[in-house]
Chains A and B, each alone.
Chain A
Amino acid sequence: MADAVVEQGRPIGAAGTRKRTSLRNVLGRKSTVAFLLTLPLIILIALLVLYPAVYSIHLATLNKSMQKFVGFGNFTFLFKRDTFWMVVKQSCIFAITAVFFKALMGFIVAHFVHNIPAKGQRKWRGMLLVPWVIPPAMSTLAWLWLFDPSYSAFNYTLSFFHIGPINWLGDNLWARFSVILVNVWYGAPFFMIMYLAALKSVPDQLYEAAAIDGANWWQKIWFITLPMMRNIIAITTLFSLIVTFANFDIVRILTSGGPLDQTHIFATWAFKVGIEGSDIPLGASVSLFMVPILAVAAIFILRDVSKRGNEA
């Protein structure tokens, strides 16, 4: 509509001024203004996201000394390595388990918070967000001290109940449990806040109608809450899945991938191979391995979300 107004307001003048007028028209269009306003961000993304992404693809096609183009050679090499497949398996276990529990915890806590009277709710929301707002490198250090192999605060507490000592970071299974636990602790508040926002947008009339029809607590969740929240659930799950697959700091600080590589995930192994082992092309290949898989998942989930949006 605004475009049309500008069009109508165009002065009809001589041929000599036509060029100037058309430039003014171009600049006057909303789309052009919008483009110019977003240009700094586009440049920033191109520099900080696009360029590193393209550069890492370029690196992944080079040999170890980075002097020869090897195409998919690094990937075919990786596919033959047992350790790589172990890292793939562990990354999937880590990401899927962590996202599932983050979503579950977030869902439960969001309901609790939603049921708190509005007056005191803000205080609780703020407190529950604390794990998410502390830089994970710092909070993970605190967890490291809690899990400390020799002086664990957890083991100290458990000793009062004659349990343990548990080898939190030295035993394969406990180490996996510990890194997932910290990831859930860190990420659950994000789910909680997103689900809380979604819960607040569900009309109360639906629940009232369901109550009149005799629906129980479970039926209200299954037939009202979950369908009304499905877009938010899909988007948060996708977002969290991508971020969790790319996690680095928690594993790096807690276990560095050990014991016996049992907690390595893509980013930590890529760092080990690429930086510590000075094989940057192989490290780049490891970190790029998940891109096509996550991209396909993102396309499907986002397509589903937009389809539901249109239905609505």
Chain B
Amino acid sequence: MSRKTLTRRQFVAATAMSSAALITAPYVRGAYAAGKLSIGFWDHWVPGANDASRALVNEWAEKEKVEVSIDYITSNNNKIQLTVAAEAQAKSGHDILQMPTWWPHAYAENLEPLNDIMEPLIKQNGEVNGTVKYLGQAGGKWLAIPATPGSQIKGPCSRIDLMKKHAGIDVQEMYPAGAQPKADGWTMDTFLKAAEACQKGGFPFGIGLGETTDSVDTAGAIFQSFGAELVNAKGDVTVKTDAVRQALEYYKKLIAFLPPDAPSWDDASNNKWLISGRGALILNPPSAWAVAKRDAPQVAEQCWTHGFPAGPKGRFAPYLPYFWGLWSFSKNKEAAKSLLVHLSAPSSIAKFVAASGGYDLPAYANMTTLKTWAEEGPPKGTLYHYPNPYNHQTLSIAASPAPPKVAQQIYFQATLTKMALRYAQGEKMEATLAWAEGECEGFMRS
């Protein structure tokens, strides 16, 4: 057996070569030289919409030499919320995770600040609305960046024919495609009269009074239009105010014209109500219209999505943004930030909107007049006013401006709809207010 001896010269040469190879290795661009990235996206309900995000991610990964893996996580039965909670607990999981509304604040301690990418994105795409700031920012720190997929406004989707016939309202004239809204007369009083007329005509408005988000979002916008806040921005309980009393009085009148089973409605009920042709109006993103296009085309061609009625304190529309968060325990933060910038580029946003048939809403001011909304139909222009192109309504979320962690409790306990229902079912005003005050005090725990 021969044994080769290693000379001192050979040893030095080998060491120098190995060191050089180790030092230069990261700069050699192999197939996946920039590491791995794992992404958890919300599983879009629109068929084919996930393809847009997959294509955009793959396009970026190819260019940046990053190995990516994507999981599409459904929001059915809160699966996406469960995933966020589990990954925050385990401090392990995806690098980027899509989170609905309240979750960036709920897990703020585990999220990487994203100011370095959000500020240039605002310069590029335009300012974001107050609700995005309220939900995505804490103490000047961007906890997550707004995601286009899944973000939505839950405004009125009216039946053109039924509103005209029973309430004498021409929604297309009020919200003309391609032009400014002429909706000064579209107030909470008009809305109430229209609800009554349509109910008498046999086509009640389909507004839920349950504990799921559609019901809560509607209640939030109505309360805000009366200036009613259960907890103010400072965190003080402000239940026993005239504004809250006015909102409850209004709701009581409205409930009288809603379907009797509205207290048991979930987020699918209003969609079914519209698609079946039983109602003249629902408050929902255009998902119901999109399903009607497939299942009940005669209903879809009579649908028109438009703005919310105005109350004494303004015109508020329920807005639910999704966010992309980057966990602080991510192993590849720079690559993740680069991908988030790519997904927020104007061209990427336009692809998201087109793939979702106009359902997805970008949060940026310069991105609300894309051609998808102008062209979608039938009827053509039905989605033109969906993204609030003229900023004639304030995009808001129920329970704001309470501190987000308190507001989240008010939101998910459906305190607003429960108050409205209790009062409408005959409970005394002061008893309802006392109950809500007790609930809000309980939500203050830290």
Contact = CB atoms under 8 A, between A and B. Distances in A.
A131 B362 CA distance: 46
Given A170-B264, A258-B263, A277-B412, A63 B276 contact: no
Contact of B262 (A65, A170, A256, A257): A170
A278 B404 CA distance: 11
Given A256-B266, A258-B211, A260-B421, A276 B78 contact: yes
B408 A149 contact: no
A185 B435 CA distance: 36
B446 A63 contact: yes
B445 interface: yes
B200 interface: no
A286 to B, nearest CB: 13
Contacts of B412: 272, 276-277
Contact of B445 (A77, A150, A260, A275): A77
Contact of B106 (A82, A255, A271, A278): A278
Nearest to B261: A149
Given A259-B210, A277-B412, A65 B446 contact: yes
A90 interface: no
Contacts, number: 92
A167 B405 contact: no
Interface residues of B, number: 43
Q: Tell me the interface secondary structure of chain B in the complex.
A: helix
Contacts of A271: 78
A261 B418 contact: yes
Which of A150, A261, A272, A275 has most B Cβ within 10 Å?
A: A150
Interface of A: 63-65, 77, 81-83, 149-151, 167-171, 175, 252, 255-261, 271-272, 275-280, 282
A169 B85 contact: no
A158 B106 CA distance: 47
B59 interface: no
Contacts of B265: 149, 170
B210 A258 contact: yes
B73 to A, nearest CB: 14
A260 B422 contact: yes
Nearest to A168: B264
B211 A275 contact: no
B264 A167 contact: yes
Contacts of A169: 261, 264
B263 to A, nearest CB: 4
8 A-B pairs closest in CB distance: A149-B261, A170-B264, A278-B106, A169-B264, A259-B263, A276-B412, A170-B261, A170-B263
A275 B413 CA distance: 12
Contacts of B17: none
A252 B442 CA distance: 23
B369 interface: no
Contacts of B261: 149-150, 167, 169-170
Contact of A65 (B82, B109, B421): B109
Contacts of B273: 150
Contacts of B209: 259
A256 B215 CA distance: 13
Interface in B270-293: 272-273, 276, 278
13 contacts: A77-B442, A82-B438, A83-B442, A150-B272, A170-B263, A175-B264, A256-B212, A256-B266, A257-B211, A260-B421, A277-B413, A278-B102, A282-B445
B238 interface: no
- With most chain A CB atoms within 10 A of its CB, the pick from B259, B273, B442, B446 is B442
B272 A275 contact: no
B274 to A, nearest CB: 11
Contact of B276 (A82, A150, A170): A150
A303 to B, nearest CB: 38
Given A260-B421, A272-B413, A150 B78 contact: no
Interface in B55-114: 77-78, 81-82, 85, 89, 102-103, 106-107, 109
B249 interface: no
A167 B107 CA distance: 39
B422 A259 contact: no
B364 to A, nearest CB: 27
A175 B82 CA distance: 27
Contacts of B81: 275-276
Nearest to A278: B106
Given A82-B438, A167-B263, 8 more contacts: A77-B442, A149-B264, A149-B269, A151-B276, A167-B261, A170-B264, A260-B418, A260-B421
A277 B442 CA distance: 12
A167 B435 CA distance: 25
A79 to B, nearest CB: 12
B355 to A, nearest CB: 29
B286 to A, nearest CB: 21
Given A81-B442, A149-B265, A278 B260 contact: no
B85 A280 contact: yes
B439 interface: yes
B230 to A, nearest CB: 15
B232 interface: no
Contacts of B259: 149-150
Contacts of A282: 445
B422 to A, nearest CB: 7
B78 A275 contact: yes
B409 interface: yes
Contacts of B409: 277, 279
Contact of A170 (B85, B107, B260): B260
A260 B276 CA distance: 27
Given A167-B260, A276-B412, A259 B421 contact: yes
A255 B103 contact: no
B134 to A, nearest CB: 16
A275 B264 contact: no
A32 B78 CA distance: 46
Contact of B446 (A64, A168, A275): A64
A209 B289 CA distance: 73
